[in-house]
């Protein structure tokens, strides 16, 4: 992880700051666009829409950090504590901004924040399509959660990173 943290500067002109409740609709749009990037069937996207929807009260009570460029939200993550460990609940980036270091900047921000709070590891459940990104960030898979969508079985990697 230390090698990864050496490259901890976000892309130029990107600010990472706490998301405000009035950004709930923008957060929702980013999450839906990012999930949809992977080509999931529209029916699945409709099934997932409630869990991809952010309401102002949830944003207010949650720790959501947003990447902002030119006064526009372009990505975000949610950080939780579960079972005494840091837990990355979400990490979404607008598809047009993928591959430009935004996801890396958000991920490393979550790592630094978690480490600064005394956590030794961070865990999360990954979309299977994001597995490569997280492995490049230094994480490894410690398990999986099985789910089903319209009769289709899915294995969701459970990831961990030593901070």
Residue 46 is classified by DSSP as H
For residue 151, being part of any structural domain is answered with no
Read off the pLDDT of residues 44-81 as tens digits, 9 standing for 90 and up.
Answer: 999 999 999 999 999 999 999 999 998 999 999 999 99
- If one counts the domains in the chain, the total is 1
Over its C-alpha atoms, the chain yields an Rg (Å, rounded) of 15
Domain around 116: 2-120
Structure confidence at residue 151 as a pLDDT band (50, 70, 90): confident
The reported pTM is: 0.89
Please, which residues bridge with residue 67 across strands? 16, 75
Task: List pLDDT tens digits, range 117-128.
Answer: 999 999 999 999
Q: For 3-30, what is each residue's pLDDT tens digit?
A: 333 334 556 688 999 999 999 999 999 9
Cα–Cα distance measured from residue 93 to residue 75, given in angstroms and rounded to the nearest whole number: 4
Domain CATH for 43: 3.40.630.30
Q: Is the dihedral of CA 117, 119, 125, 129 positive or negative?
A: positive
Q: Is 51 contained in some domain?
A: yes
Q: What is the DSSP letter of 62?
A: S
User: In what helix (H) or strand (E) does residue 135 lie, and over which residues does it extend?
Assistant: helix 131-136
CA pair distance 136, 146, nearest whole angstrom: 23
How far is 71 from 15, CA to CA, in rounded Å? 9
């Amino acid at each position: 992880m230390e090698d990864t943290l050496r490259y901890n500067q976000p892309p130029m002109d990107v600010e990472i700051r706490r998301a405000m409740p009035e950004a709930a609709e923008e957060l929702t749009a980013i999450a839906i666009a990012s999930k949809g990037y992977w080509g999931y069937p529209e029916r699945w996207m409709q099934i997932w829409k409630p869990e991809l929807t952010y309401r102002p009260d949830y944003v207010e009570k949650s720790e959501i950090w947003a990447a902002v460029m030119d006064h526009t939200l372009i990505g975000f993550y949610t950080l939780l504590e579960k079972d005494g460990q840091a837990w990355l609940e979400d990490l979404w980036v607008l598809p047009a901004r993928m591959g430009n270091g935004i996801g890396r900047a958000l991920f490393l921000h979550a790592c630094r924040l978690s480490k600064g709070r005394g956590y030794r590891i961070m865990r999360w459940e990954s979309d299977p399509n994001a597995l490569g990104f997280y492995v490049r960030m230094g994480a490894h898979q410690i398990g999986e959660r099985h789910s089903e969508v319209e009769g289709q079985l899915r294995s969701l990697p459970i990831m961990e990173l030593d901070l």
